Every structure is written in C-alpha cells, then in structure tokens.
Structure 1
Amino acid sequence: MLSYTGGLVLLAALLHASWNALLHGNRDRFLSMTWMSVAIAAVSTLIVVFTPLPAAAAWPYVIASGLVHIGYNASLVHAYRRGDLAQAYPVARGSSPLLVTLGAALFAHEAIGPLHALGIAMISGGIIAIALQAGRVSRAGVLAALTTGATIALYTVIDGIGVRLSGGAALAYTAWMFLFYWLMPVLFVAMRGAAALWTPVRAAPAAIASSLVGGVVSIAAYGIVIWAMQSGAMGTVSALRETSVVFAVLIGRVFLGETVNGKRWLACLVVAAGAVCLGL
C-alpha cells in the first residue's frame, strides 16, 4: 500500500491541503467554493461524455455521495468562518479517519487491528490537543470542524463501497458524482442572487481564477482517493490522505501568515503519526 498507490494518495494529501488553502485564502469563501464547484462540475461534464457508465449497482452511491458532498461544501465554508486553516483543517480532516475506519468496519466488514486502534487513539488525542489550545479555538469552531469531519467520513465510506460496485469505472464514478456540484451555483444564486456570482468575475478576477484552479486541483485529489479505494482499505486510504494536516499547517504558516505555536505543531504531528499508523 505504501508504494505506488501510497505515494499517489500522499500526493492527493498535498493537493487537498493546497485547495483548502486556496479556499481559506479568499475573503468570500462561499463565493470561492461556488466557483470551485463550477470548475469541478465542468470538468466532470467533459469526462462523462467520453467514459462509459458505471455499473448499475453503483448509482445509489453516486447519488448519495453527490448530495453529501454538497452538505460537506456548506459545512467546510462554515468551519472556515469559525477558525483559521491551521485550526479548522486538522480537526476536520483529522477526525475523519476514525469515523471512516469505524464506518468501513460496520458497512464493509474491514477489520480494525491493534495498530489501527493505536492510530485512532493518536488521532483522537491530537484532535483534543488542538481543541484545547487556549485562546485559539472556540467551542463553535471545534463543533463546525467536527461536523465537517463527519461529512468527510460519510462520503468517503459511501464512495469506498460505490467505486467497488462500479465495475472498475473509477473515473466515470468520480465524474458522475461530481456532476452534483452544479447544485452549488444554483444554491448560491438562490441565496445571494445572480449578480453576486457574476460581478466578482470583473471586480476580482484573480480570486475567481484561484477558485477555478482550486476546483481542478480538488477533483484530481479526490479522484486519486476514489481510485485507491477500489482495492485499498477505506480506513487506510483515508488515513494516508489525512496526513495533509501537516501540509495544511505548513501552508497556513508560510503562505497565509498564520501563527503556529509549538503545541499546535506537536498536536498536528501526533494526528499525522496516527494517520500513518492507520495506513500501515
């Protein structure tokens, strides 16, 4: 697992942290997420034209995952309103391997060994340490980030099962699921109006461009994860992806100017180490 496939999943971890930094770095994150979703949905539309349909058994999972992803987007935007990248990202992403591993054991009969249990304990301990950073984390912020982590776990388990029923059509499965991202601009217009979506294209083209790039990066990152879950254990793949918490803290510190103290560095490293244990 920690060879070719593992390397690709670690690349996905870096891509995940990068597009989250692009989202967090934009002032209007709902607008940014909407334009990211437009890019994701547009690329997916092109892909479905040229790929065969997934097997019929996978379609309930495609639909369920697509809808959960919309909820995830809304939850992520809310979490980033409540905390900085180095806070919200580790809690949201760090909590999901625990939930994915439990969900995979319950619904896909994937075993949890002693090393996995150790990884779960390390991840949970690291998250608690992050949450207890005095003066930096509000109760509302932690709750918002944990809610995001729950949606991540939910769509990961759905996709892990769904892609295995797709008949080897991981790319088509991913693209059809991401077509649901066309709902994001519909939701945005319903809440703010069409002018709020289109005016920034002229007023802030750089921000819109970064959002579109983030969308392309996002679909590549999660496409790798779905491909890996065809044969790899869901908890393992999810855990390797969540080593992105370390990338996120680095990006937040270097590019976004966020303050990262020694305790937070240590807590994030514990989360990452626990994720590695789950991936072994």
Structure 2
Amino acid sequence: MIILAAAMLHAIWNAIVKTAGDRTITLGLVAFGHVIPAAVMIAVLPLPEPESFGYVLLSTCIHFAYYYTLGQAYRHGDLSVVYPIARGIVPALVSLWAMLFVGEVLPFWAWFGIGLIAFGIQISSWSALRQGVGGAALGFAIATGVCISAYSLVDGVGVRLSGNTLSYWAWGAFLQVFIAAFIGIRRWSMLPTLSKKTWVLGLTGGVVSMIAYGLVLYAKNFAPLGAVSALRETSVIFAALIGFVLLGEGNWVRRLLAAVLMVAGVSFIGMNV
C-alpha cells in the first residue's frame, strides 16, 4: 500500500508537469520544491552514515542525466509515446541490476507479475505507440528508462547503508538544488514573467514528488528493489486514469484493460516476495 500511495502521488505531480505551459521551467520548480522542505529536514536530522553519501551524490548526477534525456525525449516525441516506453522498461531493468549487483533473486511468479505490469503500461498508451515512434524519441526514451533504473538501484543500496531513511531522503532531495539552479540559470530571463499559479503548481508538484519518493525509499529497506520498482510504475495507470477523467484523453476500455493487467501483476508480486 505504501508503494501504491507513492505511485498515485507520482502520477499527480506528472499530471502537473504535463499540463504546464513550459515543462522545463516547471521541472525546475519541481526540483526546487524538493529543496525547501529538505533544507528544514537536514537542519534537524542527524547525518546519514558516511558510506551512503557517495550514493547520494551518484544519484544526484544520474538525476541530471535523467532530466536531460527526459527533456530530449519530449522534444522529439509525444508524452503519450515517450512516457510508457521509459517507464515500461524500468521494472525489468531494476530487477536485473539488483540481481547482478546486489544479489536479489526474484521467484518466477514475481517476474511474471513484473511482466504483466510492463505490458499493462504499454497497453495504456497503445494507440499512440501503434502510430510509431521516431528513432531519436525512442533512443532518448530508452535512455530515460535506463537512468530511472540506475538511480533506483543506487538509492536502494544507499538508503540501506544510511542508517536513517529520513536523513538519506532529505539529503537526496536537498541536492536537487543543483538541478533547480541549472534550469533557473538557463531560463533566468523568464522567471520574472511566471504567474503565481505556475509557481504554486511547480512547487506543489515538487513537494508531492518528494513525498512520493520518500515512501519508495522507505519501502526499499524491506522489499526487493525490482518489486518496489514494478509497483511504483503503476503510476502510469494512475496517470492514464487522471488523463481520461480530468483531461478527456484516451480510450476507457483500453485503459481499464491496462489497469486489470497491472492489478494482476501487483497481486503476483505481493504473493511471491
């Protein structure tokens, strides 16, 4: 339930970004939305264990690459095409990395559940995918998925070494200040023209995103990394349902089928890990 709650929150902040006029600036505000509460937290929390700091820094660097590849993917392809490709490959990749580097081996039926979730992600945007995807968009979408799987593994190991999930979470969120500063410098001339609504939505999206990832980090202390990642990616169906109900997007029959597949996948994972 913790991870499914995180998935719902993740879908909400992605919906905020999706409906923004300038997604780059909104992503910068989302990053800055992490920094404000994180600064308060690191002022009162103890430091995480020293061996985990390298993982925090590595995760921050991977997040830089993630924002770049995501931006390029959206530059060359539509959200409805890029997002399911990027998110759909993550559960299998994280499970593979966890098996190779951490020694976590999932049973067959857990892998089967991961496959159902990945297939459901693709079904949720099937009409867009069927129209085809350009080489550049496909390449950057896959690169985005690789980045997500990489920081998922790094943070999964780092939080277990930290000795304090809240401290690791706070420092990882606070270091998003570099991402926010990078985007802010590049779009400096536009900042004074932003509406109050844009600021509120962006910062709110950041806080929601931070809470969602904090729940995921907490779950990684107790559950296999591949299973956590697969459950987190059910955010795609939440996003699809938000798009259908609030934005009038997509076909409800196809999205209902995707939801059924994902629920089945969640059930297989829950019974076998």
Common fold by TM > 0.5:
yes
Q: Is the 8 A contact 1:40 1:215 kept in 2?
A: yes
Which of 227, 235, 249 matches 1:236?
227
Structure 2 partner of 1:208: 199
Q: Which amino acid aligns with 1:26?
A: A
Question: 2:4, 2:118 → 1: CA distance?
Answer: 21
The correspondence for 2:190, drawn from 188, 193, 196, is 196
For 1:82 and 1:272, the matched residues in 2 are separated by: 32
Structure 1 counterpart of 2:214, one-letter code: G
Deviations 1:25-66 (A, max 9, x none): 102100000011111112111110010000011111011011
Alpha-carbon distance in 1 for matches of 2:84, 2:215: 20
Counterpart check, 1:144 vs 2:135: no
Per the TM alignment, residue 112 of structure 1 is displaced from its structure 2 partner at its CA by: 2.3
Letter matched to residue 213 of structure 1: T
* Percent of pairs with identical residues: 38
CA RMSD of aligned residues (A): 2.4
Query: Distance in 2 between the 1:67 and 1:74 partners?
Result: 11
Amino acid at match of 1:160: G
* Residue aligning to 1:3: none
TM-score normalised over the length of structure 2: 0.88
Q: What is the TM-score normalised by the length of structure 1?
A: 0.86
Q: What number of residue pairs does the alignment pair up? A: 269
Mark the runs of 5 or more structure 1 residues left unpaired by the alignment.
1-6
Q: Which amino acid aligns with 2:148?
A: I
Task: Tell me the residue number matched to 2:182.
Answer: 187
- The corresponding residue for 1:43 is 37
* Partner residue in 1 for 2:149: 153
Letter in 1 for 2:211: A
Which ranges in structure 2 are unaligned for 5 or more consecutive residues? none
C-alpha distance in 2, partners of 1:76/1:68? Answer: 12
> Structure 1 residue 220 and structure 2 residue 222: aligned?
no
Q: Is the 8 A contact 1:85 1:248 kept in 2?
A: no
* Pairing 1:19-38 to 2, within 5 Å after superposition: 19-38=13-32
- Give 1:150 shift: 1.4
Summarize the Cα distance change of 1:235–1:154 in structure 2 as closer, same or farther, 3 Å threshold.
Answer: same
| Aligned residue identity for 1:178 | A
Partner of residue 101 from structure 2, selected from 98, 107, 113: 107
Which residue of the other structure, out of 38, 56, 67, is the alignment partner of 2:50? 56
Cα distance in 1 between the residues matched to 2:71 and 2:270: 28
| 2:162 counterpart SS class | coil
Q: Given that residues 69 and 155 in structure 1 are in contact (C-alpha distance below 8 angstroms), is that contact kept between their aligned partners in structure 2?
A: yes
